[in-house]
Amino acid sequence: METAPAIYPSIGLRSGRANRRRDPSGHVHGDLELILPVLRPWRMLHAGRVVELPVNRLTAFWGALPHKALSAADDAPMLWFTIGLDRVLAWGLPRAVLHGWWKGAVIHGDLPEQADLGRRWHEDLRSGVPEWRRSCAALEIESWVRRLAHTAHAVEANESDATTDPSLTRMCEWLAGHYLEADAAARLPGIVGLSPGYVRNRFRAITGMTPSRYVVRLRLIHVQRLLLSSQRSVLGCALEAGFGSQSQFYAAYRAVFGCSPRR
């Protein structure tokens, strides 16, 4: 039976190595994530759709949207890196790129030598290494993400209005774990201890959508994941995800994706 993704708090600046699928239901966490397949391409389910991960190329996406590996082999490892949202927001990245990540965009890097960089970062972020190596890796990762963000789309460098805001990290993490609840968006201000107006305006300023729309998007992704991984009916998946009816689900899906859902 399909189960909900595991919910993790923000992981922060870390690196790891994976050789096989270990989370059949997927997971979410409040970080930007980079993945580097080492020997062969990988495939993953992210934000309700299958994404191809090219070998020896770093891929960046927002980890607070449900994701999981779909295929891998023991001799085809991947390296992964996570960067906390507070750190990412402090970099002043273009608004269009940030909004794209919040909505499920996946950006593949095409900068030279990224495979070698990824391997070095992984070594430098291991526990027990000198702090200067970890600091160098952090700076190199920041530089790489900045270059990726500013070359991925034709946006102006001054289009970012995001600043470090710990409350946004908590909001995203909490919504990722409670979006199936009917009153998730309404409860959010009380959870983070801020006024409803501030939560709505601040969340929209950084993510490009209100908390309510973010919840709808998470629910749509939940339905997509169920449709891809089970034989359940559209209505059954929609009701589990918190939609009141099939027509309500279809209307929300068309409003966000511009088409009807397909398996």
- Contact between 32 and 88 (Cβ < 8 Å): yes
Q: Quote the mean pLDDT of the chain.
A: 82
Can you tell me the mean pLDDT for 53-59? 91
Tell me which of 1.10.3720.10, 2.40.50.1070, 2.60.120.280, 2.40.110.10 is the CATH number of domain 6-152.
Answer: 2.60.120.280
- Environment class of residue 131 by beta-carbon count within 10 Å: exposed (0-12), middle (13-18) or buried (19+)? exposed
pLDDT of residue 138: 95
Going by pLDDT thresholds of 50, 70 and 90, the confidence category of residue 30 is confident
Can you tell me the mean pLDDT for 56-76? 80
Distance from C-alpha of 152 to C-alpha of 73, rounded to nearest angstrom: 30
Segment of 85-94, 156-165, 238-247 carrying the highest mean pLDDT: 238-247
Distance from C-alpha of 185 to C-alpha of 199, rounded to nearest angstrom: 10
pLDDT at 155 over 50: no
pLDDT of residue 5: 64
Residues 6+ apart with CB under 8 A from 132: none
pLDDT at 145 over 90: yes
> DSSP per residue over 44-103, as a string?
EEETTEEEEE-TT--EEEETTS-EEEEE-BTTB-EEEEEEEHHHHHTT---HHHHHHHHT
Domain boundaries, the chain: 6-152, 166-257
pLDDT of residue 15: 94
**CATH architecture label of 166-257:** Orthogonal Bundle (1.10)
pLDDT of residue 175: 86
pLDDT of residue 13: 93
